[in-house]
């Protein structure tokens, strides 16, 4: 009898608790459904979005650059002096002004490959201005184009890619435009070097 009484009391408590929870949920749902609640929620959401938007505007107007995270991860591989940087831009423009951005990148790659090779000088300026047996390695340095050209935005982009380590040259140390190269000089390329590939108007050698 005593056990039966306790069981009945327990069941009544469970029914009461369940009913109380249901009533609470019903009240919450009614509140959420009210116009005032929806307006308050929308206002809070709009305020948060407005705050985020204003933070971006403030960042831009203050001169801070909004940069993609992947760009921040990149590290520059080559740190050039102002003179080396200027000479790299100029030789790329002079040699590959008629090429697309990858064609310009390839010329920059060749110059930097030479800088890294023990058989060539150690700086961009020395590589670009190098002469062997009185013959300039890069013809624009003697025909006036090196000093007279205007560097394009595409050349800046190509050189930046090279300075950040992008290399599509397969290690090439030489390039030439066969149609514009003296036949005797072209024979030297073919006999003494390994042809890697051609791109645009240039052929690349190792």
Asked if residue 88 and residue 40 are part of one domain, the reply reads: no
62 and 92 in a single domain? The answer is no
Most confident of 11-25, 41-55, 151-165: 151-165
Q: Output the domain CATH number for residue 147.
A: 1.10.10.2520
- Domain residues for the domain of 47 are 2-71
Identify whether residues 27 and 91 lie together within a single domain.
Answer: no
- Number of structural domains found in the chain: 2
Range with the lowest mean pLDDT among 43-52, 95-104, 138-147, 188-197?
43-52
- The CA distance from 101 to 157, in Å, is 8
Which residue, among 142, 49, 57, has the nearest Cα to 95 in the 3D structure? 142
Residues 61 and 133 in one domain: no
Same domain, 96 and 165: yes
| Percentage, residues of the chain above pLDDT 90 | 59
Instruction: Find all residues with CB under 8 Å of 75, minimum gap 6, and list them.
Output: 164
Question: Would you say 53 and 45 are in contact if contact means Cβ atoms under 8 Å apart?
Answer: no
Assess whether pLDDT exceeds 80 at residue 16.
Answer: no
Q: Report angle CA 114, 116, 121 to the nearest 5 degrees.
A: 60
3-state secondary structure of 137: coil
Note the pLDDT tens digit of each residue in 96-151: 999 999 999 999 999 999 999 999 999 999 999 999 888 999 999 999 999 999 99
Task: Check residue 133 and give its pLDDT.
Answer: 87
Q: Locate 166 and state its tokens.
A: 């992008």
pLDDT range class, residue 57, cuts 50, 70, 90 = very low
């Amino acid at each position: 009898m005593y056990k039966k009484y306790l069981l009945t009391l327990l069941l009544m408590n469970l029914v009461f608790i369940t009913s109380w929870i249901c009533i609470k949920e019903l009240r919450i749902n009614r509140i959420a459904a009210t116009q005032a609640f929806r307006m308050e929620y929308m206002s809070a959401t709009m305020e948060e979005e407005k705050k985020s938007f204003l933070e971006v505007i403030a960042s831009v107007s203050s001169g801070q650059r909004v940069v993609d995270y992947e760009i921040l991860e990149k590290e520059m591989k080559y740190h050039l002096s102002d003179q080396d940087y200027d000479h790299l831009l100029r030789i790329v423009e002079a040699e590959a002004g008629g090429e697309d951005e990858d064609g310009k990148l390839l010329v920059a790659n060749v110059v930097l490959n030479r800088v890294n090779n023990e058989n060539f000088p150690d700086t961009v300026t020395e590589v670009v201005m190098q002469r062997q047996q009185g013959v300039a390695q890069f013809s624009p340095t003697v025909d006036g184009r090196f000093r007279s050209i205007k560097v394009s935005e595409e050349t800046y982009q190509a050189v930046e890619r090279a300075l950040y380590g992008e290399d599509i040259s397969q290690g090439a140390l030489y390039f030439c435009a066969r149609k514009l190269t003296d036949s005797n000089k072209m024979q030297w390329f073919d006999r003494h070097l390994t042809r890697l590939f051609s791109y645009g108007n240039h052929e690349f050698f190792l």
